[in-house]
Chain A
Amino acid sequence: MRWRWTVACVAALGAAGALAMAASGAPSGYPSRPITWLVAFAPGGQSDVEVRRVQPHLEKLLGVRILVEYRTGGGGAVGWSELARARPDGYTVGGLVMPHMVIQTLLRGAEAGYRLDQIRSIAWTVSAPNALMVRRDSPFRTLRDFVEYAKANPGRLAVGGVERLSPSDLSLAQFMQAAGIRLTYVPIAGGAGPVMTSLIGGHVDAATTAASHGVRHKDQVRILAVSGKQRMKALPDVPTFAEFGYNVTVETSWGVGAPAGVPAEVVTKLSQALLQVMRTPEIRKAVEEEGLTPLYFGPAESQAYVNRLVSTYRELVNLLR
């Protein structure tokens, strides 16, 4: 019977050792246990798809499991405030979405529950321009038709988008200001899915949201224009707003972050692994086919990217006040 005690003692020692290592939070040998990945939006949304896309490859590279947990509500605020308050040991990371994060902190201040400086960007991986789209059978064949009608009938065109104080709302405000027209914004709850239903069902005259949703429904909708400087790879025939002289810049991007104060080694390791996964040809191809643009921003570029967005949107949100 003595061997049993020996086994038990060894096991207990081992467990204590493991606990001690976990407690000290030593980054050497990171990661040594599963990493929790917080998703601030509902299962099946784009934030979910972005983590699921990399999850199996990342698990192989890092040698630990990635546990996806959903903390939804408040347009992402619930998840991001939890991320901001998490322990900065590299074992809690979270999906980030811009410009949602910055718009919330600018418009809602302390009510948002987190500050941008509480979250350290690790990498930004994909982005999508915003698109203005109409139904396939709509009389508006080009952006010019649309603007002309709006000029003749101010406020008569109903444009659906994802909620108020959101990128949809902002991008439409930018377009209205640039084109000198008045449209009626119809905020729709529940993400981009219901916005597309409302457009395809003919309940609104047009819709504005991330262009990737238009690409997914390209049989049923016509994209009049996309934001940004260049045309999209997935939609080479669709012009940009800029080609008509309208300065519409709002685009959505997805990334990963950790609570501020996370060790630099952790940031380096995670971002290298992530970008390596994103660079594999099949993932790159899938991303582009879905109407998304791959970004390969490591830690330094990521931080600069966020800072740039903060200064841009500080001006832009005034359109919504």
Chain B
Amino acid sequence: MDPVWQGLLNVLTPHYLLLMAVGVAVGSVVGALPGFTATMGLTILLPFTFVMDPTSALVLMGALWGSAHFGDAIPACLVATPGTPSAVVTVIEGHQLVRRGKAAQALYTALLASALGQLVGGFSLLALAEPLARLSLQFGPPELFWVGIFGLSMMASLAGQSLLKGIAGAALGLLLSTVGVAQTEGMVRYAFGLPQLQGGVELVPALIGFLTVPEVLGMVERRREERYVAEYRSQPGALWDVFRETLTKPFLLLRASVVGVIVGIVPAIGGPVASLAAYNEAWRSSGKRAEFRRGSMEGLIAAELANNAVAPTDMIPTLALGIPGSGPAALLMAALLLQGIQPGRNLFTAHATMTYTFIWSTLVSGIVLFVVGLAMVRLLVQIIRVPVYLLAPLVLTLSVVGSFAVRNNFFDVGTMVVFGVLAYFLRKMGFEGGPVVLGLLLGPIIEPQLMSSLALAQARGSFVEVFLLRPYSALFALLTLWSLLRGLKGWQMMQRVQPATPAGPGG
């Protein structure tokens, strides 16, 4: 039988379905724990895969990886804590939905969008691997530089009250991203002789500091007026509401899918950027722009869909070219290597059945994720019944543990606290955490790619050729320009519709 169909049949056997269920359950939990990323979950899993056959190892790891990006939405919605860096947008939109008393809707939306994202990603891996792999090769240093700059133009949707303050925030984030050993040049900057700063500002503690801490301190401030994060209401129809809201927006889904797939195949750019880009796209084309940053279903759907589409599409360069585009993909490849399989052409010839079983499993695990997720949501939504005087210390404890867990280092806890206090006061002055996070995420993409491109320009003897005349360089340069203009216009329109509203509840 054709290996493609053999793969499908394999996936539907109890053995693989069970593996997927285990992977999904573990992945959701790993994703939900701040400080534990998909990469960390996979490194813990790796030794256990030695005793499995390679196909089972891949299926299990794939399921864990994908579902971590649903798990991370749970604490993001409920207590404004990103489970992994991919959940930064969910912290903004999901948590506002929860505070408006729509906890069940927020979690169901995240779940449905994540499952859809997994399906979209899995489908791209199955049907479009060849052309997408070729497309991913078009992205060299100058193109990646422009993608990063294009990303910065997303600032408009995150800026809040003042565009200028948003720009200042993004600049702060970019500056912070330069701490440590410069990626291409090797010199140490702003480390002040501290060995802990050599590796730069650790991303997870910084995200928790900038996004979670001000939110929790806000809860504490309002503890007399609001004893709970939100009123808990049993909402029997919530799931159907979410289905209707989500599935009646084909264009929103399509746009988020395209963004997720493109970001997935572009090397070195992953889930956090995908969710931000899809969110920004949703904001720009939304009729309900005023809802954004105050709990927008559209924003949440776009972000969660895109970041889940990334995991399977990230595997396209890995499977088709043997080049892992991210940490988790590198681990899947390592698992193959250690099983004695050299990733490359032979994955689609000698090991085709294994490869297609894995590819189908990324699709099917989307459905498994939805089923397992439903049970988790029902249980975890109860967390908002915990009063603030217990919840706030609990979340702060979780933040400390999460910051520590990234690399078992107390220095990172200090990072989290310092940035948290800073973010709290900045927010009082109208600076939002979102743009800072954007800068922190994009700095490590923009700077090294700029340095590589400059060296390339030296060899070619022309800056114009490298930065503007290569087809995809030109495309992204134009897109950046367009996005800046559109963003500015959209931002002005939003200001006109909503003059001088305070920046969202608790904003």
Contact = CB atoms under 8 A, between A and B. Distances in A.
Q: Do A and B bind each other?
A: yes
Nearest to B331: A44
A119 to B, nearest CB: 15
A253 B322 CA distance: 22
A186 B455 contact: yes
B184 A187 contact: yes
Given A73-B180, A78-B195, A197 B323 contact: yes
B330 A42 contact: yes
A201 to B, nearest CB: 4
Interface in B409-454: 448-449, 451-452
Given A189-B183, A194-B268, A113 B198 contact: yes
Nearest to A190: B268
Given A44-B327, A187-B185, A189-B448, A198 B140 contact: yes
A77 interface: yes
Interface in A140-188: 155-158, 160, 163-166, 184-188
A183 to B, nearest CB: 8
Determine the main DSSP class of A at the interface with B.
mixed
B330 A45 contact: yes
A71 interface: yes
A71 B180 CA distance: 14
Contacts of A44: 324, 327, 329-334
Residue of A71, A73, A190, A217 with most partner-chain B CB within 10 A: A73
Contacts of B186: 75, 107-108, 163-166
A105 interface: no
A151 B367 CA distance: 59
B456 interface: yes
Contacts of B498: none
B385 interface: no
Contacts of A290: 337, 342
A96 to B, nearest CB: 18
B267 interface: yes
A294 to B, nearest CB: 16
B459 A190 contact: no
A42 B329 CA distance: 12
A104 to B, nearest CB: 9
B138 to A, nearest CB: 7
Nearest to A79: B199
B407 A155 contact: no
A18 B425 CA distance: 49
A216 interface: yes
Contacts of B448: 188-190
B334 A201 contact: no
A160 B333 CA distance: 23
Given A155-B459, A164-B185, A190-B448, A56 B199 contact: no
Contacts of A190: 183, 268, 448
B345 A219 contact: yes
B183 A163 contact: yes
A11 interface: no
Given A73-B180, A217-B322, A187 B338 contact: no
Interface stretch (A47-55, A122-130, A224-232, A309-317): A47-55
Contacts of A77: 181, 195, 198
Contacts of B333: 44
B342 A70 contact: no
B317 interface: yes
A169 to B, nearest CB: 9
B344 interface: yes
Interface in A193-221: 193-194, 196-198, 200-205, 216-217, 219-220
B337 A49 contact: yes
A263 interface: no
A289 interface: yes
A193 B461 contact: no
B337 A186 contact: no
A188 B330 CA distance: 18
A111 interface: yes
B138 A201 contact: yes
B285 interface: no
Nearest to B444: A189
Contacts of B332: 44
B206 to A, nearest CB: 14
Contacts of B185: 163-165, 187
A160 B459 CA distance: 11
Given A44-B333, A157-B459, A190-B268, A286 B340 contact: yes
A154 B385 CA distance: 71
B286 interface: no
B181 A75 contact: yes
A188 B340 contact: no
Nearest to A159: B459
A158 B459 contact: yes
B456 A186 contact: yes
A261 interface: no
Contact of A74 (B198, B325, B342, B460): B198
Ordered nearest first, which 8 A-B pairs have the shortest CB separation? A73-B199, A44-B330, A203-B140, A189-B448, A184-B459, A158-B459, A201-B137, A189-B183
Given A189-B183, A217-B323, 16 more contacts: A44-B327, A44-B330, A44-B331, A52-B46, A56-B50, A73-B200, A74-B198, A108-B188, A157-B459, A187-B184, A189-B448, A194-B323, A203-B142, A204-B456, A220-B321, A286-B340
7 contacts: A43-B327, A73-B198, A156-B461, A165-B185, A187-B455, A198-B140, A216-B343
Interface of A: 42-45, 48-49, 52-53, 55-56, 68-75, 77-78, 81, 107-108, 111, 113, 155-158, 160, 163-166, 184-190, 193-194, 196-198, 200-205, 216-217, 219-220, 282, 286, 289-290
